[in-house]
Structures are given as C-alpha cells and as structure tokens.
Structure 1
C-alpha cells in the first residue's frame, strides 16, 4: 500500500509538471527513475496514464481522470501535515486539571497567568474538587494534590512551596475568649468548620509538635465548604478558623486577625501536579507543566 501511494504521488507530480525532468528535480530523483516508477504503476493498473514524446509528457484520458481524483487528496494530506506542524510551533488544545480551592488560588492562577497570554490557543479548565479522584477515569489530564497524597503510579511534579496552616481569630473574639494554648483547648471554642464537598465530612484540624501528631474534630456555629466565607467570618469575630497561612498572612500582618497555636503548625510538603506515567504529553500540556514547575525561591 505504501508503494502504491509513492507511485501515485510520483505520477501526480509528473502529470502536473508535464515533464519527467522537472518532476524529478522537484522530488529529488532522476527522470529515468520517475519514468520507471510510472511505467510500473501503469503495468499494475493495466492502463496507460501518460502519453510520452521526445518533447513532452501529457496525461491520457485515464491519466487525467486519475490526476483529478488523487491530486486534491494529496493536497489535503499536505495541508493537514502542515497544520500539524503549526500545532507544534503554536501549541493548542484544552488541558483539564482537578485541584482543591487553595492550590487554585495560590499556585495555578499565578502560574497560568504568566503562560496563557503568550499562547492564546491553549485552554485550561480547572475543576475544584477536594476528593482524591481517579483523574484518568474522570477525564482529567492532571490533578493537583499535596505531595504526600499523590498515587505512586503517577508522575508527580512539585509546583509550590511547603504549606503551613494557621489558627486565627479576630482581636474582638480573643477579648471574649482566652486564646488556646494546646489543640485540646479548641473543644472549648467556637470554631468555624469546613465540610469537604466530596466526602461530606467535616475537615479535622491537624497539628504536630515534637513528633506528636493530633487530629482535632472541632465544633462551632458555622460550617462552610469554601475558603472565603471562613476567612470573612473569622474577621467578623464569629470564631476561630483553621486556614492556609498564605491566605491569612495580610490579615495577620495588619492586626485584623491574631494567630494562635503557631508552635503546633509546622510546614508540610506542598502541592504537586500529577499525571499518568504512560501519558505522552502534548506540546500544550508540556508548556503548562513547565509554567507550573516550582523553583526554589519563586
């Protein structure tokens, strides 16, 4: 089949150029070799395709019919191959990523804002999901999770610094309640809970100090499933909140929020982008990966 395509392509150029010499120069082969190729094609088809004289070459009626049939198809193939080349030079396509709300705000949005303006044909769809989903089964190209949560059969790329949590409340709240000194003290406080949308359970507050780990299930009047309402409620003096440190850094610096239990909140491995090890990355996906790659210090 491949030989037939080669012979048809050779015939098409000869018929269009009306010359074995010019066609040979265009294809980078000798005129005599082209002549033998066309003769072999005519022999297989059992019909003459070209009229040959010492001065010219012209298609027969059968040759003209074949030329009109195959020439546009070869042109279409060349255009498609050229389009594929353009895709290599101008990466395009949609990349779907599953991630939690915090990495979307702290890592994905900053990284993608640096990449996307230069590549208008790349589209990124980010779905906020707190569950450890199967990204392959759910049709995602990649997921973002904390390093310790990435499956072993995935390629994992660090995309953010270590993460640290902070227990915070407003000065007004601490005027009414003594600040906790141990995680166990939280049972006496009005805590703003977070319910994980995927699992339906309340998110436990995790602490560690001197090798001792604690998971405290707190109680309070308010429960949300996103970051912003918890932050605003803490600022309004409605209770203690357990938040990523970078989310509340400006409020702590301004005095709008006060931190507690800081010595019980050490840093832990940050976010990683993960994707199947068998995946052959597209140019667009490779660019997204490189844009999100974490570099120490920035």
Structure 2
C-alpha cells in the first residue's frame, strides 16, 4: 500500500488527484507516504504549497519500481478476468433419467457457446455425498435433497406411468387398481437410492400406497427395463415422459393413470457454503427450470 501510494502521488504530482485515484483521503495518503519515507530514511517527495515533485531518490524509485508494479497490476487484472470468465471443469452426479432428459439437452445447447467449460457427468443412482466425493453438484428429486443444501429446480413436476405391451394385456388382462399388480408379471428396478427393489408408489384422492410387485426381471438401468416392456415381458413403472411416444403410437398401453399423481421434479443441489465459479453459475442458469 505504501509503495502504491508513493507511485500514485509521484505520477500525478498531486496528493488530491492521487487520493481520488486510490479512493482514500488526502490526509491518509500523506501519512502513508511519510511513513514510507521514515522507514527508508530518505525524502521521496518535495512538497510545496502548490506542487509535489519526486526527489532524486523518488525519481529513481519511480523509474525502477513503477514498471514492476504496472506488470503486477496487469497480471492481477488478467487473473481477475480469468476468474470472471466461465472456464474450468464442473462435476455433477445424477440419475440416468435426469441425465438423459434434463442435463443432456441443456448441455448440448450450452457448451458450444462456452468452449472453456468442461462438464464431468457421472450417472449414479445412489445418494452420493457430493462433498466427500468432490462433486460440484448433484441432481435428485426434490424430496431427496437434504435440507442443508441449496436446491435449484431444473425440471417440471413428474408423473410415473404403468405400461405394458398390447400382447401382454391380451394374454393377462389389465389391472383395475394397484393391488391387482400382485397378480401380474412386473419388471422391477433395483436402486441403491432406495436400498433395494423400488416399490411402486400410487396416490388417489389423498390415499397413498406402495405396492411391492414381483416378476421375472430385475434391472438397475432404465434402458433394459424399456426393452423388456416393449418385448411384452411384463408391466413397467416408468416416468411418463419416457414412454409418451410409445403410448401415442400404440406400442405401449397405459393403465392405472388415475393412481399416478404428480410429484416434485428434479433439483440441482450443492452446499450452501460453496462459492460458485463463473462456469458453475452459467451452468446453473442454463439448467434452471422456467415454466
């Protein structure tokens, strides 16, 4: 600070202009420069009532030290610009469905505009500790996000759908209510998020229930589950948006639709104490859900 104060006064030839440049009072600036002179045991500035000029020692200091400080200032400015420019790697963990339907479409649009941003997306069904595993953020359903995390909604409400192939229903009939599923061949999903095989959840007129179904197939990936239901090997409980096209074109038939209520969709979450980088901030805004 003392050397910066001297350089400003020596260059401006004025305490008034130097003080305005540095954003300090004239008295504080004068005190700082005088303290530097006392520490060096040399007078650096000649002061009169009308002007300020460097002494011989002051000229030498200005000539030798000034350019070095200019270089330092330039480097600091470059570092500040780097900090403010969206760049670097952002690590995110998310489930398969969120990665395919929310993250990937957003990333495909965003990344071409920000070539210095890199994204590492890890598909994981477990409730990963993002702090321990050093992720910048995670993506989970709203109800699964811990209360001490900042949560940003990135998707609409979700609904599940119970679907089956026409050939399956022709052979086995259609369930009329959730309890009927116990008599059907159901395709299960085993997720570490839920500590085992996922129970199918239903709600109608504030009446909620979970049904544990059985069948010949258990998967830990949505892709194989989709292949199996299209092949007529059983009923599947799948996010509505995933099977919408197949329902429209008749390859799948939906049942128990009135029992599948909407619920909170996906949220991006991260620690409240985290200081977002420009790259992370850009990504959050790109993912933020807007109706």
**Structure-1-length-normalised TM-score:** 0.78
Q: Which residue of 1 aligns with 2:77?
A: 81
Matched, 1:174 2:174: no
Structure 2 CA distance for aligned equivalents of residues 127 and 253 of structure 1 = 32
Structure-to-structure mapping, 1:89-128, within 5 angstroms: 90-128=85-123
Q: Which runs of 5+ in 2 are unaligned?
A: 20-26, 46-52
Aligned residue in 2 for 1:164: 159
In structure 1, which of residues 223, 228, 233 is the aligned counterpart of residue 223 of structure 2? 228
Task: Tell me how large the CA RMSD over aligned residues is.
Answer: 3.5
1:283 deviates by 2.3
Gaps of 5+ in 1: 15-19, 51-55
Match of 1:29 among 18, 36, 45: 18
CA contact (8 A) 1:192 1:230 kept: yes
Q: Is the 8 A contact 2:201 2:211 kept in 1?
A: yes
Corresponding pairs, count: 280
C-alpha separation in 2, matches of 1:38 and 1:158 = 54
The CA distance in 1 between the partners of 2:154 and 2:7, in whole Å, is 53
Does 2:280 correspond to 1:285? yes
Secondary structure of 2:234 counterpart: coil
Over 3 Å counting, the alpha-carbon distance change for 1:158 and 1:198 in structure 2 is closer
TM-score, L = length of structure 2: 0.80
| 1:137 equivalent among 132, 138, 148 | 132
Which residue of 186, 192, 211 corresponds with 1:216? 211
Residues 12, 67 of structure 1: 8 Å contact kept: no
Change (3 A) 1:71 1:291: same
Displacement of 1:225: 0.8
Aligned 1:248-263 pairs, distance under 5 A: 248-263=243-258
Query: How far does residue 39 in structure 1 lie from its aligned partner after superposition?
Result: 7.2
Cα distance in 1 for residues equivalent to 2:237 and 2:167: 17
Aligned-residue offset at 1:48: 8.1
Aligned equivalents of 1:47 and 1:79: distance in 2? 30
